[in-house]
């Protein structure tokens, strides 16, 4: 399995990478970890004429705490996230999610920015980012803009990235102390995409839900924010009935594509089940 | 056809230079140009782990890396494990614990386990199973592979103690 012929570029600075994208336009694709793009190129589903490798830009790597947020370079790998004491302490949801992505070898190469930019609803970071209320720094020849994750994912393999723009950084507001979290993912085996998955952040006040965030993986053309499900829980006690109702509302927005992982009905039911499991686990981890 | 590019890297401690098309995958360069046929091609779709090599301190599937990405890299393949006629502790472990049957996955298993033990010299059984999950074996049922890694972990940590 050999990709179609292409030219390879390894820019040494971000401006150089942006200039290459501008020069080659539609013919260029960015190479991050390569574990989505290279398989597509080997299958000849993708045939870019120019490949711009971001692997030699250290400024796109690394995790920093800035004020009350984590700033994560787009080329930070999944294993970097898993092994980061800072991420584990400030945003354990992201570690839990990354641990469920692909397999160890893929996690050495796969990057958070690549996972997001690819726009694949089966990828895990889009839903994690929606749940966390993250925003993305996009840089192009016209300058820089910061866009919220909510609204970034437009369709399957389609995002708000404009031609010539590069996702350079992910900014995640640190969840309030005591916030419970869970990424519940159903998959057939290591390395598989989710049959369905749910990311939950949950803040309790006594027995009452103060704030909740729910997002779904692989349940539609994009990752989905389950707003009605969230609304149904705010200010309520987190009873079994309330969680079942939230799951029903989450399922009502699901439009999964049938594949070998299951038909539409099964995958929708699993999205509901993952929502309930994530809520239960998040509840057990919430401390207020 | 895109112009061939010269790529230099260190393979098992030796400097090598190859001339490749940008689209050439690392596993093909290793096997066909450099005659390093230890890393195997199992699935060629980054699932099975038979082509695992150690690249700049990371275990990677060399079917999903372009050779042109490896400029200045340091690479270790199964060919680099035996030193002066003595088997590496992992090779010994796979022998002693019957960690293989057909052997097809073994170079990838050993190369992956090498990096795992560098990062975590005393892994629990659960950690071994989690961090070796990118390598498939269709013969053993994994039990003896886990034992082989445990054997090597013990031997390596007693040697360094």
Give the domain A7-52 fold: 3.30.43
Domain that holds residue B109: 89-160
CB atoms within 10 A of CB B101: 14
Using a CB-CB distance cutoff of 8 angstroms, which residues of chain A are in contact with residue B112?
104-105
- B75/B96 same-domain check: no
CA angle A153, A58, A149 (to 5 degrees): 15
Residue reference for tokens 């990677």: B60
Task: Give yes or no: residues B19 and B69 share one domain.
Answer: yes
- Please give the pLDDT value at position A9: 98
Q: Is the pLDDT of residue B2 over 90?
A: no
Same-domain pairing of B65 and B106: no
Hey, are the CB atoms on B2 and A190 less than 8 Å from each other?
A: no
Q: Where does a domain end: B14, B47, B80?
A: B80
A27 at interface of B, judged by CB pairs closer than 8 A:
no
| Separation between Cα atoms, residue A67 and residue A88, nearest integer Å | 17
3-state secondary structure chain A: CCCCCCEEECCCCHHHHHHHHHHHHHHEEEECCCCCHHHHHHCCCCCCCEEEECCCCHHHCCEEEECCEEEEECCCEHHHHHHCHHHHHHCHHHHHHHHCCCCHHHHHHCEHHHHHHCCCCCCCHHHHHHHHCCEEEEEECCEEEEEECCCCEEECCEECCCCCCEEEEEEEECCCCCCEEEEEEECCCCCCCCCEEEEEEEEEECCEEEEEEEEEECCCCCCEECHHHHHHHCCCECCHHHHHHHHHHHHCCCCCCCECCECHHHHHHHHHHHHHHHHHHHHHHCCC
In CATH, the number for domain A180-285 is 3.30.390.50
Cβ contacts of residue B81 below 8 Å, gap of 6+? Answer: B87, B88, B90, B91, B110, B114
Chain A CA closest to residue B130: A104
Residue of B22, B60, B130 lying closest to A105 (CB–CB): B60
Q: What string of DSSP letters covers B110-131?
A: HHHHHHHHHH-SS--HHHHHHH
The answer to whether B133 contacts A8, with C-beta atoms less than 8 Å apart, is no
* B21 and B71 housed in the same domain: yes
Where exactly are the structural domains of chain A? 7-52, 61-173, 180-285
- In this complex, do B47 and A191 lie within 8 Å of one another by their Cβ atoms? yes
At B36-95, the pLDDT tens digits run 999 999 999 999 999 999 999 999 999 999 999 999 999 999 999 999 999 999 999 999
Both B31 and B74 in a single domain? yes
B22: nearest CB among A8, A35, A105: A8
**Do A286 and A178 touch, CB atoms closer than 8 A?**
yes
A41 contacts in chain B (CB < 8 Å): 23
SS3 (DSSP) at B86 = strand
Q: Give residues with Cβ within 8 angstroms of A116, minimum separation 6.
A: A74, A123, A125, A126, A129, A136, A149, A152, A159, A167, A170
CA atoms within 13 A on the CB side of A35: 27
Q: Please name the helix (run of DSSP H) or strand (run of DSSP E) that holds residue B53, with its range, or none.
A: strand B52-55
Two tokens, residue A130: 């929606």
Whether residues B134 and A103 touch (CB distance < 8 A) is answered with yes
Give yes or no: residues B69 and B93 share one domain.
no
On chain A, the residues whose CB falls within 8 A of the CB of B71 are 10
- As to burial, measured by CB atoms within 10 angstroms (0-12 exposed, 13-18 middle, 19+ buried), residue B14 is exposed
Are B11 and B58 part of one and the same domain?
yes
A55 in B contact zone (CB under 8 Å): yes
ipTM for the whole complex: 0.96
Cα–Cα distance between B65 and A129 in angstroms, integer? 27
Q: A77 with A110: CB under 8 angstroms?
A: yes
For A61-173, the fitting CATH number among 3.30.465.10, 1.10.10.10, 3.20.10.10, 3.40.50.300 is 3.30.465.10
Same domain, B15 and B75: yes
CATH number at residue B76: 3.10.20.30
B→A contacts (Cβ < 8 Å), by residue, are: 1-3, 5, 21-25, 28, 44-47, 49, 52, 58-61, 63-66, 68-69, 71, 112, 116, 130-134
Q: Cα distance from B61 to chain A (closest Cα, Å)? A: 6
Instruction: Work out the pLDDT band at B159, boundaries 50, 70, 90.
Output: confident
CA distance A17 to A261: 38
Out of A5, A41, A104, closest to residue B59 by CB: A104
Phi and psi torsions of A136, nearest 5°: -120, 135
Going residue by residue through chain A, which has 288 residues, state the pLDDT in tens, using 9 for 90 and above: 899 999 999 999 999 999 999 999 999 999 999 999 999 999 999 999 999 999 999 999 999 999 999 999 999 999 999 999 999 999 999 999 999 999 999 999 999 999 999 999 999 999 999 999 999 999 999 999 999 999 999 999 999 999 999 999 999 999 999 999 999 999 999 999 999 999 999 999 999 999 999 999 999 999 999 999 999 999 999 999 999 999 999 999 999 999 999 999 999 999 999 999 999 999 999 996
- CA B122 to chain centroid, in Å, comes to 19
Out of B80, B111, B136, pick the residue that ends a domain: B80
- Each residue of B109-118: pLDDT tens digit? 999 999 999 9
* pLDDT confidence of residue B161: 65
Q: How many residues does chain A have?
A: 288
- Check whether residue B153 and residue B119 sit in a common domain: yes
Instruction: Count how many pairs of residues, chain A against chain B, have C-beta atoms within 8 Å.
Output: 89
Question: What residues of A are in contact with residue B63 (Cβ under 8 Å)?
Answer: 1
Beta carbons of A7 and B22 less than 8 Å apart: yes
**How many structural domains compose chain B?**
2
CA separation, residue A83 to residues A60, A62, A90, A96, A157 (Å): 18, 12, 13, 11, 29
User: 3-class DSSP state for residue B152?
Assistant: helix
Are B65 and B112 within one domain?
no
Q: Domain end: B80, B103, B135, which one?
A: B80
| B contact test, residue of A50, A103, A111, A192 with most B CBs within 10 A | A103
Task: Say yes or no: B60 and B19 in one domain.
Answer: yes
Tokens linked to B145: 């592979």
């Amino acid at each position: 399995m050999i990709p179609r012929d292409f030219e390879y570029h390894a820019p040494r600075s971000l401006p150089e990478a942006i200039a290459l994208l501008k020069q080659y336009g539609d013919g260029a694709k960015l190479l991050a970890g390569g574990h989505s793009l290279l398989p597509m190129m080997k299958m000849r589903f993708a045939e870019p004429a120019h490949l711009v490798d971001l692997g030699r830009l250290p400024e796109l790597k690394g995790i920093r705490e800035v004020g009350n947020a984590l700033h994560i370079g787009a080329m930070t790998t999944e294993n970097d996230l898993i092994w980061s004491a800072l991420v584990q302490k400030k945003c354990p949801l992201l570690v839990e999610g990354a641990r469920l992505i692909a397999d160890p070898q893929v996690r050495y190469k796969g990057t958070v920015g690549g996972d997001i930019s690819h726009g694949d609803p089966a990828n895990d970071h889009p839903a994690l980012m929606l749940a966390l209320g993250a925003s993305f720094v996009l840089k192009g020849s016209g300058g820089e803009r910061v866009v919220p994750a909510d609204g970034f994912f437009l369709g399957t393999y389609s995002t708000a990235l404009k031609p010539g723009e590069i996702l350079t950084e992910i900014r995640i507001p640190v969840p309030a102390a005591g916030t419970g979290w869970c990424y519940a993912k159903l998959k057939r085996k290591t390395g598989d995409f989710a049959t369905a998955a749910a990311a939950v952040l949950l803040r309790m006040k006594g027995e009452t839900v103060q704030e909740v965030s729910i997002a779904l993986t692989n349940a539609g053309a994009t990752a989905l924010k389950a707003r009605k499900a969230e609304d149904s829980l705010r200010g309520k006690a987190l009873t079994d009935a309330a969680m079942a109702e939230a799951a029903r509302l989450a399922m009502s927005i699901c439009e999964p594509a049938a594949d070998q992982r299951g038909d539409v009905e099964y995958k929708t039911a699993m999205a509901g089940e993952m929502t309930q499991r994530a809520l239960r686990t998040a509840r057990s981890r919430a401390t207020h | 056809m895109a112009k061939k590019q010269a790529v230099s890297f260190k393979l098992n401690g030796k400097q090598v230079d190859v001339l490749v098309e940008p689209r050439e995958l690392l596993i093909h360069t290793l096997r066909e140009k450099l005659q390093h046929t230890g890393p195997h091609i199992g699935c060629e779709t980054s699932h099975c782990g038979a082509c695992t090599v150690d690249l700049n301190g990371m275990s990677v599937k060399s079917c999903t890396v372009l050779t042109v990405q490896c400029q200045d890299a340091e690479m270790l393949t199964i060919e680099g494990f035996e030193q002066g006629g003595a088997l590496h502790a992992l090779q010994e472990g796979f022998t002693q614990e019957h960690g293989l049957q057909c052997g097809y996955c073994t170079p990838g298993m050993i190369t992956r386990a090498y990096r795992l033990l560098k990062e975590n010299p005393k892994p629990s059984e659960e950690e071994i199973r989690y961090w070796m999950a990118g390598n498939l074996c269709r013969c053993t049922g994994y039990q003896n592979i886990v034992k082989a890694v445990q054997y090597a972990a013990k031997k390596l940590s007693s040697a360094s103690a």
